[in-house]
Structure 1
């Protein structure tokens, strides 16, 4: 009974983390700002860290099944 919410949470976290990492990579490669008004390196680092965290959290949810 607990596998349904774990699958949903794992899918949501994994999709969001993967999309955030992909978006950050594309923006950095194109030389576009990741966040307006923030230093480019700091924005890319923090966004990459958040994407990795969400991706890891999603994988952790799947591992708990």
Structure 2
């Protein structure tokens, strides 16, 4: 019964992390700003770190099933 919420949370974390990493990489590739009014390097690094963290959280959640 408790695996349903874990699957939902794992899917949400994984999809958000992968989407954030994909979006960040496309913005960097197109030389477009990742965040408005922020240093391009800082925005890229932070977005990449958070994307990786969410992706890792999703994988960890699926591994705990």
TM-score in terms of structure 2 length: 0.99
Unaligned residue ranges in structure 1 (runs of 5+): none
Match of 2:58 in 1: 58
RMSD of Structure 2 on Structure 1 (CA): 0.3
Unaligned residue ranges in structure 2 (runs of 5+): none
Residues 18-53 of structure 1, C-alpha deviations (whole Å, 9 max, x = no match): 000000000001000000000000000000000000
Match of 1:5 in 2: 5
Q: State the 1:13 CA deviation.
A: 0.3
TM-score in terms of structure 1 length: 0.99
User: Tell me, what secondary structure is at the counterpart of 1:55?
Assistant: helix
Counting matched residue pairs gives 65
